[in-house]
Amino acid sequence: MTIDVIVCETCRQPDTGQEAGPEAGWTGAMFAALLEGVLASAGAEDVRVGTMRCLMSCRRPCAVHIRSPGRMGYVLGDLTPERSAVEALVGYLLAYGATYNGVVAYRDWPDGVKGRFVARIPAPDMQPLGK
């Protein structure tokens, strides 16, 4: 099943507060490009990467939204355009893809994604957990 990762391309640089979209070559564009490369190396053909002008997680840049039909979706923030951060996200995406509902056991989370979750978004057709 396809997994979409939408990367915010207009995150602000935390050290300067200046907007840095793809033309400035910072978080969103750099993160998305690095993510595509790491996914290709991992053979993760079922993961699609796209960008969006703003995910409205401005206090926690760089932000990404993970979604897949019938699965729980997630927004993560505080990601950096560094290989270690991208590899942690890819590790999480591989675990996410192995689930039927998008809920990855905490013990299976790579260290690089722990503490970076902003929101959990149920799929439109998903029953509330625990019901």
Query: Which tens digits make up the pLDDT trace of 57-102?
Result: 888 888 999 999 999 999 999 998 889 999 999 999 999 999 999 9
Per-residue pLDDT band for 15 (boundaries 50, 70, 90) equals low
Give yes or no for a contact between 94 and 35, defined as CB atoms under 8 angstroms apart. no
**How many Å apart are CA 20 and CA 3, to the nearest integer?**
26
- Counting residues of the chain whose pLDDT is more than 70, the rounded percentage is 84
**DSSP type of residue 59:** T
Percent of the chain clearing pLDDT 90 (strictly above): 60
| Higher pLDDT among residues 12 and 111, named by residue | 111
Among the listed residues 80, 77, 87, 89, the one whose alpha carbon sits nearest the alpha carbon of residue 115 = 77
In CATH, what class is 3-121?
alpha beta
pLDDT at 87: 96
